[in-house]
């Protein structure tokens, strides 16, 4: 096993993680940001600032499109291809 340094990013606790089949990882946190990075290269691919309390869960769909949800989701509210 090879140890790698921690990925910089969130300033407050992470509340949700999602992994896509293409190797992308997304995380949402209490700092109101959704961050997406490449699992192989550790490069940040995207940083999305969300209104407070609107990024409690992240998920990838089959096409690796990212969705994030408020605390009580009523359906997909946001998407990034």
In this predicted structure, what is the pLDDT of residue 73? Answer: 44
What's the CATH number where 24 sits?
2.40.10
Asked whether residue 74 is domain-assigned, the answer is: yes
Q: So what's the pLDDT on residue 77? A: 42
The whole-number pLDDT of residue 72 equals 46
Structural domain count, the chain: 1
pLDDT means per 10 residues in the chain (81 residues)? 67 87 88 89 87 77 66 45 48
Residue 59 lies in a domain: yes
Tell me the β-bridge partners of 46. Answer: 36
Is 7 a member of any domain? no
- Note the pLDDT of residue 69: 61
| Cα–Cα distance measured from residue 35 to residue 33, given in angstroms and rounded to the nearest whole number | 6
Range(s) of the domain holding residue 36? 14-80
Say if CB 23 and CB 36 are below 8 A apart.
no
């Amino acid at each position: 096993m090879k140890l790698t340094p921690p990925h910089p990013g969130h300033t407050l606790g992470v509340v949700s993680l999602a992994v896509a089949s293409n190797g992308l990882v997304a995380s949402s946190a209490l700092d109101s940001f959704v961050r997406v990075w490449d699992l192989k290269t550790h490069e940040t691919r995207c940083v999305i600032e969300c209104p407070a309390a609107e990024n409690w869960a992240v998920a990838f769909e089959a096409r690796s499109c990212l969705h994030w949800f408020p605390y009580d989701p009523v359906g997909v509210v946001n998407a990034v291809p």
